[in-house]
Structure 1
Amino acid sequence: MSGLVATFFGAGHLRPASGTWASAITVALAVAAYQAGWALAVPAGFVLATLAGFWAVPRYLARAGGEDPSEVVIDEVAGQLLALCFTIIPLWRHGVDLLAAWPGWVAPFLLFRLFDIWKPWLVGRADRRGDATGVMLDDLWAGLFAGVAAMGLAGLYHGVVEPWLG
């Protein structure tokens, strides 16, 4: 069971770039849930993926070995869902169609992948831990940074650029 969770039901075996595949699948599932009227499934999924990841990753690493095998992607799922919460919850509260507000799910995806690959500051520090907690934490930090950056970009666009365009 820990293997299924850690690899997000096998998505971690997709190549190349298993983390990007897992993030893209997560975004697709989140958009589908939102469009089906289940927007709150995104933050609930974040909590579930985080708890499941902290349970599964240490068990998987103990069995499979290695510090952060590429097939372990539940951390990407949790981080991507966290990033998406920053835009999906406000859009849902305002009754906005997510597909019409496409930057609301594209920006968190791109920013999450950027922070996850670049590993600035706390993301890199968590990654360098070299343990199961670090595997989860680096992506949670990346998700937090991506969510905040996406909100900042949305505020900049709607508060400065859009009024200027008229």
Structure 2
Amino acid sequence: MKRFAPLIGTVLGVGYIRPAPGTWGSLVALPWGWLLHVLGGFPLLILGIIIAFLKGWWATAQMTRGGDDHDPSEIVVDELVGQWIAILPLSYMAWSMGLNILAFWPGWIAAFVLFRFFDILKPGPVGWADRRGDALGVMLDDVIAGVFAALGVLVLGGVYHGVLQ
């Protein structure tokens, strides 16, 4: 079972891509998030987030056990989870209105940029989670960055559709 930890933690090896493995992990999350949405809408994306979080937490704990680095750069399952959280508002809107999720393409760009912004800078609670120094902290900092990015997507969508149009 432990041999599966690197496959999960690195998202099938994406975490080994250099430079910027976290950015690659976030990028690969987008088409996979789209696929989950297309197959089962918003509910399947939520389920995917929960499963990926739990498996990612386990894989991160396995991969960091006994090591000095609590958050090796090749572990990118946390970016996948955070990026999926960042696109949740887009999935919900498309699913609830029966629209093609790709119609919200500016939101996809915003979700990606905002998630990377919060994940890299680690403001406030994102940094707190990262400083925990354990597998849960590795996952939580990206969850919180994803929530911040999702809120940013909502604000930007509201400004664009409510004020600019």
Superimposed CA distance per residue, residues 93-126 of structure 1 (whole angstroms, 9 cap, x where no aligned partner): 1122222220232211111011001111100111
Structure 2 unpaired stretches of 5+? none
Q: How does 1:1-166 map to 2 (within 5 A)?
A: 1-34=4-37, 36-40=38-42, 41-62=44-65, 65-162=68-165
* Partner AA of 1:79 in structure 2: G
Q: Is the 8 A contact 1:8 1:73 kept in 2?
A: yes
CA deviation after TM superposition for structure 1 residue 33, in Å? 3.8
> How many angstroms apart in 2 are the aligned matches of 1:77 and 1:64?
23
CA deviation after TM superposition for structure 1 residue 2, in Å? 1.1
Structure 1 unpaired stretches of 5+? none
Q: Report the count of equivalent residues.
A: 161
TM-score (norm 1): 0.90
TM-score (norm 2): 0.91
Q: Is the 8 A contact 2:126 2:142 kept in 1?
A: yes
Q: Give the RMSD, CA atoms, in angstroms.
A: 1.5
> How many angstroms apart in 1 are the aligned matches of 2:12 and 2:27?
14
> How many angstroms apart in 2 are the aligned matches of 1:90 and 1:63?
44
Q: Is the 8 A contact 1:39 1:88 kept in 2?
A: yes
Same amino acid, percent of matched pairs: 43
> How many angstroms apart in 2 are the aligned matches of 1:133 and 1:31?
26
> How many angstroms apart in 2 are the aligned matches of 1:39 and 1:112?
21
Which stretch shows the higher mean deviation, 101-110 or 149-158? 101-110
CA deviation after TM superposition for structure 1 residue 64, in Å? 5.2
* Partner AA of 1:61 in structure 2: T
